[in-house]
Amino acid sequence: ANDRNHPSPRPTFKAVQPNTDDAVTVPENYDHHVIIRWGEPVLPGAPEFDFENQTGEAQAQQFGYNCDYVAFHQLDDDHGLLWVNHEYTNEELMFAGYTDGSEAEPEQIRVAIAAHGGSIVELERRNGTGQWCLAGGERPFNRRITGNTPFRIAGPAAGHELLRTEADPDGTEVLGMLNNCAGGYTPWGTVLSGEENCDQYFVGGDRAPEDQREALARYSIAVEGETYVGRRFDRVEERFDLARHPHEANRFYWVVEIDPLDPEAQPVKRTMLGRFKHEGATTALTEDGRVAVYMGDDERFEYIYKFVSAKKYVEGSRKHNMSLLDTGTLYVGRLTGNSPEEEIDGTGALPSDGEFDGTGEWVPLTSDSESFVEGFTVEEVLIHTRMAADAVGATKMDRPEDFEPSPVTGKVYCCLTNNDAREPGQADEPNPRGPNKFGHVLELVEGGDDAGSESFSWSVPIVCGDPEDENTYFAGYDKSKVMPIAAPDNVTFDRDGNLWVSTDGQPGALGVNDGLHVVPVEGRFRGELRTFATVPVEAECCGPLISEDNKTVFIAPQHPGENGTVEEPTSTWPDGGFVRPSVVCIWHTQGRDVGRT
């Protein structure tokens, strides 16, 4: 069947070959362009970017650094709002002569804080195609959120003692979001975004109160040795010094919710979704109309989580829906393989039943009113979620990154990006290689196909690497017809339900640039993974996102040239000068659906 609305689901584009070019490379018959770069004006009256004379005040009005999650809300046929996370900063590429945070000019630190967060910019369609450009003039929805924007703290842990600080004795408002990695777009039109590696912003853990150091360490914050290192945000804002403000770290590592359609609305940190290194947060509706949120904790040997709301989603009732993420149940995943343990030898060789697969349960940690973990209150489960999950024996995964349900089948896909620390003897069926250098993709089918289920089945359809390596697996597909992939990270779906997987780590694992791969996950071409785009030197490929009309792929090449400096650059993307992390769109030059020839 090849009708206009449901074309053949097999992507037929001519694949991009693996390369090390300092460029975005797209297939034949496709074109791409940079929509917006680091430093370009976002807010009305924002100054033009001046690389030599940056200020925090200017940066707070301009597009931020390192873009990760991308969302797109179409306003009408030819206008839309682009949301982008600015995960972190590479100061040595932003400032000439930069050495480290201890030596940095205070104004450089203020620029870095303002370059974090996110941006909303209005786009307009060009030429009736899938090409989108920055809309000129003053745009009412344009917005910057930074490391200093006030956020409301919502949900059951709001106001808890562990969230109170000298500056916020009520524990209900925090300045800024930091290290926002992947995210999701809710059915009611808000952006969810995960605060991830927040440990890199806090100093003084060795001088934090003794009784708080265990929890700080469980969140990967240094609590011994020389802890006054890194960006040294504490030199301009002392709240980042845990010796003086030990609770400030508890106010980060949350999922935030932002309403792109209301520039006045205060962004919110949703404590009901737990506190860990949130990669992203993607939603599905349950059989009875509640909302489920899938979330990974991206660190080695960490867990996968799901939240299910208590209340139902009500179409059109924005105010009601904005409260859905404050009550419900938070679960952690426990996965059991169905093959004998001795058949999982750590190499990635398939067990005798031919598949890494099994069953799993969503173990409830807490509802908004009742904790299910002995020794933890509701608030303690939410603030120290990792420790609560340890206590129930959740399954330690290989760095769970993006975790997203297919809008076509409801099956849920999670990228396990890699884990160099897993010993061969620690391999298990859901994480079958030790060490896991190339990563794998988990497919999860909820019981009764209901996102609200407390049980599921799972399999590993893709064991990444070079297909010539015998211990790779592409859903049983002919490996002579698939392409190499390593370090799967962000995912999205096209209208036909093909899985698009971007990567962060192919240079180290395969010696080629990161990129964006497409793989059918249903039907006879399941497993036919091929490369759609590659990104510049030392960049990871973020986004990706496909527009609702299936005509545009948005990607965000993050941290191009990250191993270089201003003086000794390893990338000059996108303009041939200093590197500028940017957002790019890709479209078929004849206006065909993305993935077509």
What separation in angstroms does the CA of 99 have from each of 109, 238, 464?
12, 21, 37
Smallest separation, CB 180 to ligand FEO (Å): 9
Q: Which is nearer to Ca ion, 66 or 339 (CB)?
A: 339
Residue 196 interacts, among Ca ion, ligand FEO, none and using kind-specific CB cut-offs from 5 to 8 Å, with ligand FEO
Contact present, 364 and 372 (Cβ < 8 Å): yes
Residue 259 interacts, among ligand FEO, Ca ion, none and using kind-specific CB cut-offs from 5 to 8 Å, with none
Looking up tokens 């590197």 gives 579
Q: What is the identity of the amino acid at 231?
A: R
Both tokens of 258, joined, read 């932002």
Q: Which is nearer to ligand FEO, 11 or 147 (CB)?
A: 147
Smallest separation, CB 355 to Ca ion (Å): 5
CA gyration radius, the chain: 23
Residue 357 interacts, among Ca ion, ligand FEO, none and using kind-specific CB cut-offs from 5 to 8 Å, with Ca ion
502 dihedral zone (left: phi>0; alpha: psi -120 to 50; beta): beta
> Binding segment for Ca ion among 27-35, 353-361, 378-386, 550-558 (CB under 5 A)?
353-361
Smallest separation, CB 298 to ligand FEO (Å): 3
Question: Which residues of this chain interact with ligand FEO, rule CB under 6 A?
Answer: 87, 181, 196, 279, 298, 401
Q: Which is nearer to Ca ion, 234 or 504 (CB)?
A: 504
Contact pick of 78, 138, 353, 478 for Ca ion (by CB under 5 A)? 353
CA nearest neighbour of 498 among 523, 474, 469: 523
Smallest separation, CB 65 to ligand FEO (Å): 13
Any contact of residue 489 with Ca ion (CB under 5 A)? yes
CA 232 to chain CA centroid, Å, is: 24
Smallest separation, CB 249 to ligand FEO (Å): 18
Q: Which is nearer to Ca ion, 366 or 395 (CB)?
A: 395
- Three-state secondary-structure class, residue 387: helix
Q: Which is nearer to ligand FEO, 279 or 355 (CB)?
A: 279
Contact present, 290 and 327 (Cβ < 8 Å): no
What is the number of other CB atoms lying within 10 angstroms of the CB of residue 22? 21
Smallest separation, CB 396 to Ca ion (Å): 18
Strands annotated E in 231-369 = 255-258, 268-270, 282-285, 290-296, 300-302, 304-312, 328-337, 357-367
Q: Which is nearer to ligand FEO, 367 or 492 (CB)?
A: 492
Any contact of residue 338 with Ca ion (CB under 5 A)? yes
Strands annotated E in 428-551 = 440-446, 455-463, 473-474, 488-493, 499-503, 515-519, 530-534, 540-546
Strand 304-312 and strand 515-519: pairing?
Answer: unpaired
Residue 195 interacts, among ligand FEO, Ca ion, none and using kind-specific CB cut-offs from 5 to 8 Å, with none
Smallest separation, CB 545 to ligand FEO (Å): 16
Q: Which is nearer to ligand FEO, 9 or 543 (CB)?
A: 543
Contact pick of 193, 339, 472, 506 for Ca ion (by CB under 5 A)? 339
In whole angstroms, give the CA distance from residue 587 to residue 131. 6
Residue 122 interacts, among Ca ion, ligand FEO, none and using kind-specific CB cut-offs from 5 to 8 Å, with none
Any contact of residue 504 with Ca ion (CB under 5 A)? yes
The residue ranges that bind Ca ion (CB under 5 A) are: 181, 338-339, 351, 353, 355, 357, 401, 489, 504
